[in-house]
Amino acid sequence: MKVIVCGAGMVGSNIARHLAAESNNVTIIDRTPELVRKLSDTSDVQGVVGNAGHPGVLERAGAEDADLLIAVTFSDEVNMVSCQVAHSLFNVPTKIARVRDQHYLEPLWADLFSRDHMPIDHIISPEIEVAHAITHRMQTPGAINMIPLADGRVRVIGVRADTDCPLLDTPLRQLTTLFPDLHINIVGILREGTTIVPSGDDQILAGDEVYFVVENSHVARAMASFGHEETAARRVVIVGGGNIGLFFAREIEAHHPGVSAKIIEANDERAKYIAPLLERTTVIRGSALDLEILEEASVGGTETIVTVTNDDKVNSIAALLAKRAGTQRAIALINDMTLEPLITNLGVDVVVSPRATTVSTILQYVRRGRIRSVHALREGVGEVVEAEAMETSTVVGKPVRDIDLDRGIVLGAIVRGEEVVIPRGDTVIETGDLVILFAAANAVKKVEKLFSVRLEYF
């Protein structure tokens, strides 16, 4: 597949590397020569220096035969124009644009991005995606990550195995004996930066990040088996009243009536702007690094603090101050993921990466075959994939033990109508099943082939 990525910032460079590593033909466009040169030197990516909205620049990038254009520059307008030019002049089949300014996304202007006006196939709003990611983590206390799949019937959950985790040093094959009625399947382990695709002989060690697939009705028991029995938050303090903080507060008001929220916003003008937009959320004007402000927000009696300013240091320090004051759980938004090991060791429970969240969203529109959704767990770790098994797929009609799966692929669950099946060796995948699996970074392309639809099907 030939892909043009407009913008060599954190998201653009990350998605370019990701796709190039899977043997796609990737060209990146950016105005900054240093960024283009750095990416071209370190990855199998071609580079073009220039304005991604200019027809000549897109032509030099090979737009005339491109399959996909991903526009993630820092300018919404450049992203939109790039898609328009790619459509009107080069007939690029699929265009994805990142749009930050929420005024463009108001329902009143819903026709703006239609094919007859500004033909963008998929709009990515990082602020909304991050707010949703934080909400998902809030729904499962004790989880460092949570991804709902199959219309909410299945979840992929990540937990950190502490020294008191009951499952430490237990071979995974014994889990079915220990918990015969628990619908859970461990699909990935991250240990000291290395991804382990587990077999039955592998064990969980203290400090591991463990990712498992579980039926929704079994979540509480599954979390308890890992030693996590935290109660859901009823009081939340949000640090930062920008778009992410505002969206998150609105999510709480709309879908969690039993949760009360407060926002701490340092900018007086912004605080005055967001206060009338919220019905049940208290807005406090001040710095979250001021202990008096934290005391005014009653962080000591709060179950969860969520820090989502545009400053990693403020997010980290505010989260740690709140934990020191008595907050049970801290979730911090961090752009520089090199800080994650440091702040999690100091006490921050969950780190959310806007870059990883945006990349996951983009990947859903890039994957081929009958792939319904894709979620990147971490950069370079692997992806959780939800795929539909078609009649012509090679996985249909044979026991799981006989399917030629790559060593980097683990089947997590099969959803058949209203039934959730945790696959065993004799489980047979049927036409129409939703198959949820984990694929290590080097095995993702093989998942696409497993669930591709051959031409004779049509």
Local structure of 313: helix, strand or coil: helix
Percent of the chain with pLDDT over 70: 97
Percent of the chain with pLDDT over 90: 51
Q: What is the pTM of this model?
A: 0.81
First vs last C-alpha separation in the chain? 22
Q: Residues 181-205: pLDDT tens digits?
A: 888 899 999 988 888 888 888 999 9
Q: What is the DSSP letter of 100?
A: -
> How far is residue 67's CA from residue 151's CA, in Å, rounded to a whole number?
29
Q: What is the pLDDT of residue 100?
A: 85
How does residue 456 score in pLDDT terms, banded at 50, 70 and 90? very low
**Angle separating helix axes 126-138 and 354-366, nearest 10 degrees:** 110
| List of E strands, 205-352 | 209-215, 235-239, 260-265, 282-285, 304-307, 329-333, 350-352
Task: Check whether 118 has a pLDDT greater than 70.
Answer: yes
Q: What is the pLDDT of residue 108?
A: 73
How does residue 71 score in pLDDT terms, banded at 50, 70 and 90? very high
Q: What is the pLDDT of residue 385?
A: 87
Backbone conformation region of residue 369, classed left if phi is above 0, alpha if psi is from -120 to 50, else beta:
left
Q: Residues 340-388: pLDDT tens digits?
A: 888 988 999 999 988 888 887 887 777 665 777 788 777 667 888 888 8
How does residue 454 score in pLDDT terms, banded at 50, 70 and 90? very low
> How far is residue 397's CA from residue 349's CA, in Å, rounded to a whole number?
43
Task: Check whether 56 has a pLDDT greater than 70.
Answer: yes
Q: Set out the domains of the chain in order of their start, with CATH numbers.
A: 2-124 (3.40.50.720), 131-225 (3.30.70.1450), 235-352 (3.40.50.720), 359-457 (3.30.70.1450)
The CA-CA-CA angle for residues 449, 452, 454, to 5°, reads 115
